[in-house]
Amino acid sequence: MLEVLEHRDLKWYFFEEAKKENFKNEFFKKMNFPPYVIDKFIQKSTRDKVIVNESFLFISLHFPDLKRQKYYTEEIKFIIGHDFIMTNIFVKNEGLEKFKKTFSFYSFENDEEKDNCVAFAFIRMIEKIYENVLMELKKVEKKIDEIEDQIFKNKEQAMVKKISLINRELLDFKKNIRSHPRTWNVFLNGAKEFFHKKRTHNALDSILIAYEKVITNGNELSELIHELRDTNNSLLSAKQNEISKSFTLITFLTLPATLFFTIVSLPTQEKHMFIGQENDFTLIMTVGSILFILMLIFTIWKKWW
């Protein structure tokens, strides 16, 4: 599907899963795109890519999608000309959707100069996409806050899996986005030859600032979840130690009484002071209780409780 948006002299060709047939009409033939560029533009790929040409710039980037239960990446492809921008998406991107709604209302700096108009429109697109990623990271941050709250409500064990899932999500996020600086550096070097205005060159550098905000936020969340995991493990370990200690003390408290009951219950041919006498059950239970109480007093005195 193709949607064409116009803002003064700038045209934005917004493709959703572009097909080769889109480039067979007369208008696109005039653009004279090399076949390999068209193939790169319409086909899905697993790598970021930059192509620099005297009449256009091509860049393909993968952006992390944190909305889904299973980790997913959104691939977005751009072709930037002197008076047009083309985008091709395979999955709906909320950042681009927000930009599209306000595209015709933007007042691009020096928009009477096509050089600046195209560059600033492209910068705004990228900023909106990165802003959307930041919003998704804020949702991850909220999940981390909820996990922290649950940890200190004595739900450490239930949070082990959730912490691992968040940590995996952030690892995948950083793995996907870490190639962006290299891709942008290649693109920006080519853009300095493609765009002739010095002001445009300086403005394009702001793309790296938008990226830095995202990766910094992602790294901070990653550090936070690591610290939270350490805290959770410490609390869980302390709780398990307390449980083990309690069972050990219970065993220690009941050991003398258990040993006493075992000894007096041994079968004998003759009566003794505990078995066969009047009120022998009461006597056995009394002695066992005294032994238990003495052991309890001993553990309290030793401050084992």
Residue 256 located in a structural domain? no
Regarding whether 228 and 148 lie in a shared domain, the answer is: yes
| Closest among 108, 81, 76, 105 to 92, alpha carbons compared | 76
**pLDDT digit string (tens) for 79-128?**
999 888 999 998 888 888 888 887 766 655 554 455 568 888 899 999 99
Same domain membership, residue 233 and residue 109: yes
pLDDT at res. 120:
86
Confidence of residue 273 (pLDDT cuts 50, 70, 90): low
The pLDDT of residue 112 is 46
| pLDDT at residue 108, rounded to an integer | 55
Which one is predicted more confidently, 16 or 262?
A: 16
pLDDT above 90 (res 302):
no
Mean pLDDT of 29-46: 86
pTM (predicted TM-score): 0.76
**In this structure, are 220 and 274 located in the same domain?**
no
The domain tally of the chain equals: 2
Q: Are residues 22 and 145 in the same domain?
A: yes
Read off the pLDDT of residues 120-143 as tens digits, 9 standing for 90 and up.
889 999 999 999 999 989 989 999
pLDDT of residue 111: 45
128 and 195 co-located in one domain: yes
Q: Does one domain contain both 126 and 270?
A: no
Give domain status of residue 288, yes or no. yes
129 and 277 fall within a common domain: no
Q: What are phi and psi of 9, to 5 degrees?
A: -95, 5
Q: How confident is the model at residue 269 (pLDDT cuts 50, 70, 90)?
A: low
Nearest alpha-carbon partner for 203 in 225, 215, 188? 188
CA–CA distance, 183 with 126 (Å, rounded to integer): 13
Over residues 53-67, mean pLDDT:
86
Contact 145, 42 (CB under 8 A): no
Locate all alpha helices (DSSP H) within 60-205, ordered by sequence.
94-102, 114-151, 156-177, 180-194, 198-204
Domain boundary among 237, 256, 278: 237
User: CA 272 to CA 288: how far, in whole Å?
Assistant: 17
Give the best-scoring range by mean pLDDT among 102-106, 151-155, 241-245, 283-287.
151-155
Residue 251 falls inside a structural domain: no
State the CATH number of the domain containing residue 92: 3.30.460.20
92 and 176 within one domain = yes
- For residue 257, the one-letter residue type is A
Integer Cα distance of 184 and 153 in angstroms: 45
Mean pLDDT of the chain: 82
With 90 as the cut, is the pLDDT of residue 205 above it? no
Find which of 155-169, 178-192, 251-265, 272-286 is predicted with most confidence, using mean pLDDT. 178-192
**Span 182-192, average pLDDT:** 91
User: Which structural domain, as residue segments, surrounds residue 23?
Assistant: 2-237
Spatial distance between the Cα atoms of 14 and 175, rounded to a whole number of angstroms: 28
| Residue at 204 is within a domain | yes
pLDDT recorded at residue 275: 66
- Tally of CB atoms within 10 A around 157: 12
The last residue of one of the domains, among 237, 256, 282, is 237
Residue 270 and residue 124 share a domain = no
Domain match, 281 and 173 both: no
Which residues does 96 contact at the CB level (< 8 Å), separation at least 6? Answer: 14, 76, 87, 89, 125, 128, 129
Asked whether residue 184 carries a pLDDT value surpassing 90, the answer given is: yes
In a domain, 42, yes or no: yes
Q: Is there a domain that residue 257 lies in?
A: no
If asked whether residues 230 and 274 sit together in one domain, one would say no
Last residue of a domain, one of 222, 237, 252: 237
Whole-number pLDDT of residue 210: 92
Same domain as 275, residue 153: no
**What integer pLDDT is reported at residue 266 of this predicted model?**
65
Residue 247 lies inside a defined structural domain of this protein = no
In a domain, 169, yes or no: yes
Phi, psi angle pair for 27, to nearest 5°: -60, -50
pLDDT in tens, 221-240: 999 999 988 888 888 777 77
Whether the per-residue pLDDT at 268 is higher than 90: the answer is no
